[in-house]
Copies of this chain bind each other. A is one copy, B any other.
Amino acid sequence: MRAATAAGREVFGYNRSVDGVKAAQFDGFDATDSLDEALSRATQTESLIVLAVPMPALGAMLERIRAIAPDCPLTDVISVKGPVLAQVEAAGLRPNFVGGHPMTGTAHSGWAAGEQDLFAGTPWVVSVDDGVDAAVWASVMRLALDCRAFVVPARSDEHDGAAAAISHLPHLLAETLAVTAGDVPLAFALAAGSFRDGTRVAATAPDLVRAMCEANSEQLLTGLDRAIALLAGARDRLAAHSSVADLVEAGHAARMRYDSFSRPDILAVTIGAPGWRDELAAAGRAGGVIRSALPVRDSRG
């Protein structure tokens, strides 16, 4: 709400927390704790609905949207995309839906944890799954750009594989590090930068971490298996040959590749033109990002 309002958009919001709504109203925002009221207004104003709820709350929310605002364009900011798409489809809302995921956040939650600049300069994934509507896609793209994010177009399944590797696995490694150190005398007394950085995300509320990890369990299991195999290999070579060279050199090389990873602008795609979804998915896979709005051909390309 803060970021879109700062961009000059008309924004209104619903939250089930009366305290959260009051805090937003106190800060001058247009918020209500009546879901039906917010959805009726969305229908009347043909607003883009942005779902920002934990996975377990999604089903009930989609039911109300189906009942009150079935024709509104719809997006979400939930951290996993395949399972959301499946629930949206089950609710009969897939034609108006384009999934989204701003890859940013804080370790805190609730109204007070947000800030206007939260999305500035960060990737916001917009899903290019088969059959997504060009007009809805373009409106989600414009929302992300207005919030000063850059858009990464990606298929939902590829997003989830990447999210497991760069978001969900890091959370579990941070929890592992915190637990391991917590059992060692003197560890907290000596902890410095590498421990603080390595466990920062372990301060995230456990329910949020569980929700994102458990909703993406299939892809996360693949990442966990790979991480365990790498650590077990390093352990065995350290025991047998007193060397961690293989893991350390591969890790350093990967991090160097990340540091030099470039994000070329996607400029030559027209949303709605033939083959636009596959073109965007391929461009996103190659590191491409959208920094200013692409042209749109028509609404059912």
Contact = CB atoms under 8 A, between A and B. Distances in A.
A243 interface: yes
Contact of A226 (B104, B170, B180, B253): B180
B179 A251 contact: yes
A16 interface: no
Given A180-B169, A224-B231, A238-B224, A159 B206 contact: no
A190 B159 contact: yes
Nearest to A160: B186
B193 A104 contact: yes
The number of chain A residues touching the other chain, given as a range, is 35 or more
Contacts of A232: 228
Interface string A34-68: 00000000000000000000000000000000000
Interface string A251-268: 111111111010100000
Among A154, A172, A185, A254, chain B packs the most CB atoms within 10 A around the CB of A254
A89 to B, nearest CB: 21
Contact of A214 (B159, B173, B184, B243): B243
A2 interface: no
Nearest to A198: B170
A105 interface: yes
Contact of A192 (B166, B182, B261): B166
Given A235-B221, A252-B203, A261 B175 contact: no
B224 A152 contact: no
Contacts of A242: 214, 217
13 contacts: A103-B192, A165-B181, A170-B195, A170-B198, A175-B250, A180-B226, A180-B230, A182-B258, A189-B261, A189-B284, A197-B200, A199-B258, A217-B242
Interface of A: 103-105, 122-123, 125, 152, 154, 158-159, 161-167, 169-195, 197-206, 209-210, 213-214, 217, 220-221, 223-228, 230-232, 234-235, 238-239, 242-245, 247-259, 261, 263, 284-285, 287, 289
